[in-house]
Structure 1
Amino acid sequence: MAEANPPRGKMRFKRNAASFPGNLHLVLVLRPTSFLQRTFTDIGFRFSQEDFMLKLPVVMLSSVSDLLTYIDDKQLTPELGGTLQYCHSEWIIFRNAIENFALTVKEMAQMLQSFGTELAETELPDDVPSIEEILAVRAERYHLLKDDITAVTKEGKILLTNLEVPDTEEAVSSRLERHRQITGDWQTINKLLTQVRDMETAFDGFWEKHQLKMEQYLQLWKFEQDFQELVTEIEFLLNQQAELADVTGNIAQVKQKIKKLENLDENSQDLLAKARFVILHGHRLAANHHYALDLICQRCNELRYLSDILVNEIKAKRIQLSRTFKMHKLLQQARQCCDEGECLLANQEIDKFQSKEDAQKALQDIENFLEMALPFINYDPETLQYEFDVILSPELKVQMQTVQLKLENIRSIFESQQAGFRNLTDKHVRPIQFVVPTPENLIRSRAPFFSSKHVGVGYSFFQACKLFSKGKKTWRQNQSNLKIEVVHDCREKRSSGQSSSLDNDNTLDVLKNHVLNELIQTERVYVRELFTVLLGYRAEMDNPEMFDLMPPLLRNKKDILFGNMAEIYEFHNSIFMSRLENCTDAPERVGPCFLERKDDFQMYAKYCQNKPRSETIWKKYSECAFFQECQRKLKHRLGLDSYLLKPVQRITKYQLLLKELLKYSKDCEGSAQLKEALDTMLDLLKSVNDSMHQIAINGYIGNLNELGKMIMQGGFSVWIGHKKGATKMKDFARFKPMQRHLFLYEKAIVFCKRRVESGEGADRYPSYSFKHCLKMDEVGITEYVKGDNRKFEIWYGGKEEVYIVQAPNVDVKMSWVKEIRNILLKQQELMTVKKQKQQNQLTEQDQLSPHQNEGKQQGAFLSVEETESGHTSAMVKVCEAIVSVQAEANTVWTEMSQSAEISEEPEEWSSNYFYSTYDDNEEEDRPLMRPMSEMALLF
């Protein structure tokens, strides 16, 4: 309905149509009662009728009574002729209250939803204090929202109360209509209250679950924190016990490790109690249906597993250390047993071996010792290794093997002693005497000084050491400034006193047998000496109990100090000594014995080359407590340096014994092989001697091994002359010659200056400063020089440089000239063969291309000639022998005529083949540096 005013009514219709929630089907228009208003209404509807008709039907009513035709009077207010009791202001108040309540309920729902989303999406922290703080903040917000819900519920209930009709007598007649009026609003409010109650119930349920989860999350983090702390502590203890895994060291260190393990075990007991408490707490959480049940059970299992590992590792470590302690105890007892055995051997004086009673007493002492040491000597190595296999580290294995080897050798020595003593007890045997050199030759050969009265059957190595110390002391008192240089001098004649010690046996067989006996007996002593040094010094450097006595820098110098002595001992003990012993009844086999193993003797060259480095180490650490303790245990009167000299002494003594044996084996079976063995040992000594000199060369640029094999070396006086400019005159030699040490190699001659160092032992090993090098492919010699038959010339580069060399004697000179001549002849043969090959290649090329034009042939031929003229030495020929009596007496040499012409012309060449390191204070001119331009052939 609307007021019948077309302009305003039209706008109302449009607003109602837009705001009404449903569809409009009919519009009832009540006309005004006044004439003017009615007239205007009719005119207005007439003009706007089409607009109304397009959208909805409009009915014009003339009076209020016409409304009853369309609407029930119960639905109309009294103003419109109805009976409906209606207050519009009251309706507006209720309507606003209902709409506000509905809006409040909606906002509350949004707040609850936002709070729930925040709880679900917010990432929880990883530390317990932050979790507790978040839990408190969320609980506070929950209580605030709970209060808001309570207030909204109270407001809704008040609205419902206001919408209810009072139960009075005046209202009884109109209750039904009143109820009908408020039914819609009441249902709306009731529905909103129901939604509020549902939201509150859901919110309470959500909060209970969330709170429980947060509390469990906090409990989980506390449990995890306790778990991580325990794991860290357990791993720390495991690492501590792992540090005790190294079973190396001495017995004191093992004791200290056992004590540390006991302390660690005590600390682990408190930790294991905490672990059991945490595991019990985890089981309680799991029993309360914690949401992280699987994780808690896993953590409990891990903690239980780590606890078991800690207990088992400590238990296993205790067993391991106990076994290690037992192993070290056994090794210590075995070493003490070895020391007692060595002391027993050392205390047996050699004089006691000469009587039957003393031999029986010594034999009884040995048997008592063997009975006492039987548990160690007869201990099965396999059983020992099986029992201690778990704890056997490489160091312990080495110690065990060392002690085992020491026991085996001591047992073998005692068995040998027993056999000798039994022979003495059965029958007193005359001692076999050594054949020793005279004191003069003793100085040169550095052999041990034994007299014929000192050595008998069954003597031990320790007694030999005592005898050697006496002889060494006498020898040191009589000699000074002695060189440790490998020499090969011949042994002189024996003294009459020594020959008388052979019991007047003048036959060659008896003499030969005595020399052979001396060779075998001294070989046994030599092997025992090496064994004692290796066992008493070298092996002790690996003994942890001796580390405190040893300077730290000395521990890694074992290979330098002893060189390859272990290799030498192994060769003599395992191979060579048994071969010599097989020659006892067959002296003719001595020569083949040396020849078959001549290559093995090269190990002595390596030992001698290392000797200077070894002595440097010894001089630096000779006063340390380690060497003194080892010497005390071995009962040695001499220091280690005397025993380190044994291999050098032994290799020089072989040639002396072989020479004596050859002297008494002339025209006998095997004498030729014996002579060959002697030559082999002399060559070996020369090779060793040469190598000792070569390693003393300093300042050479390059590798000396590239110069080939060293043929000879020695000291000479040298003068140098030059051709200068276009003249042929030589520089007159200086009055004072230069002292040079020459080294002759297959490919060069090296000039060095011997350096004289001051101080103790300075002359033991020479030092050479490199000066220059002459390539053999440019060298020629003149055998005889006027004025002195000890001189000869070495000229270089077609006599551009002439070196006048004066030897100590004529024999040395002739040896050098002979060797240089042989080298030049070999080079000439190689040049001739090379030239012949080149000519054959050119001939084959000419045969393959016979139809080439003449111009090309001539060009090729000229090219060959140019090549020959540029490298004359590569195609040298013997054209003519020139003997110049006036200039150089008795000089035999041949030159190419073309080379002579070239040598007369002054030329400048690059330095490709020459090194020079002249000292400024020697006033020596640098030689011209020329390439190979000529070759001399000597006959």
Structure 2
Amino acid sequence: MDDQELGFKAGDVIEVMDATNREWWWGRVADGQGWFPASFVRLRVNQDEPVDEEALRVGLQGPEAGDVEAQSSKDQMRTNVINEILSTERDYIKHLRDICEGYIRQCRRRADMFSEEQLRTIFGNIEDIYRCQRAFVRALEQRFNREQPHLSELGACFLEHQADFQIYSEYCNNHPNACVELSRLAKLSKYVYFFEACRLLQKMIDISLDGFLLTPVQKICKYPLQLAELLKYTHPQHRDFKDVEAALHAMKNVAQLINERKRRLENIDKIAHWQSCIEDWEGEDLLVRSSELIYAGELTRITQPQAKSQQRMSFLFDHQLIFCKKDLLRRDVLYYKGRVGMDGLEVVDLEDGKDRGLHVSVKNAFRLHCRPTGESHLLCARKPEQKQRWLKALAREREQVRLDQETGFSITELQRKRAMLSASKQAAGKPKALGRPYYLTRQRHPALPTSSPQQQGSVLAEPKRKPTTFWHSISRLAPFRSSCRPPAHPWWD
């Protein structure tokens, strides 16, 4: 043992003289003093109570004394976690205030350099986040027990404000746009000097603006980790246990919702590009009502009044079903052939046999029926398993719409315009018929999701074009071969 290390045995009472270091404390016991590991001892709650050395001695401790010591250690760890949560929240509030007062306020004074739309792109809704976080911190401090921190009940605060945390979704989705705009402004010296002056006036640390704006994205992902740590050191009998457990589940859902919305918004560019590659598109843009591809595959559409059968590539999005027709020669080119709005429609599973409405025999069929208007669409799949996939996909589409309504998810007009503008720029100067359009295909059929709507089987992809066999087939015809042969010449023989 080192000369400066303090030797002690179980049951010894150590007088702590220096506890500035978290891991090693300087203390005195009997006639000796030195360094000792803080994790090997526990603090006495009442320094005046007499010490029962026999009760504290490890070898002679009963089960009740051991439980008390373990609980005391757990309470101390819970106190540490609570202090960490409050400390980081106060630091975060200061960080948000510096951005709002140090940058946004100064930018608004320079209308010659920044428009409101530009400020919205750079800073998103960070001012809304600042207001919500201030209310959240006030609620945390009201529930903080200063005398006995481990008895603080913070779980209820997270549950009360869980809806407010959803505003982070808009911020996280906008953050890539902010990075692009800041990268563009960084090439202009006057903006570089301006942002640096803002930082110095607010006395902020030496980090670029894009670094400061990343903090909210990191913060919302940290809450589940903090709550998991708090739950770890919360006794099941603690009054806060159930609330912390529920809060952890709620914040995980918030983080999952934000990730799902981010994925959805990333897909709208692909959907816009796919639409731009469809020939003869009619009506409103897909993104006006839809933002998610649910399922895709071939269906036979039987239409009235002659019960005409039409083979169609069908694409089920939220709120609508799109019908397309393949080009006879170029199978990777699609022509728009109509759509069906899914809102208000009822899915009817039909048995194989004769359909009463159209008086035709159907197999693997189902009907989309609207009771108020009487509108009806009869669709048939090739195989029974394909029909079942479609029925499950149609149920998922309704569930997706319901979840979007509950969570308030929607595509803004600005996001839709940006996606369509980007798609039009990609298509500019390139004929649709000669290009390689994005094609909506199905992967190998996975297990269809039952609870998590974000696990989709349909994806946007760019397939490899298969070489056409048309001219190869033509060249095999005998008349073409004989007529294309060169004339015979004597000196060739």
> Which of the two has higher C-alpha Rg?
1
TM-score, structure 1 as length reference: 0.25
Higher helix share: 1
Higher strand share: 2
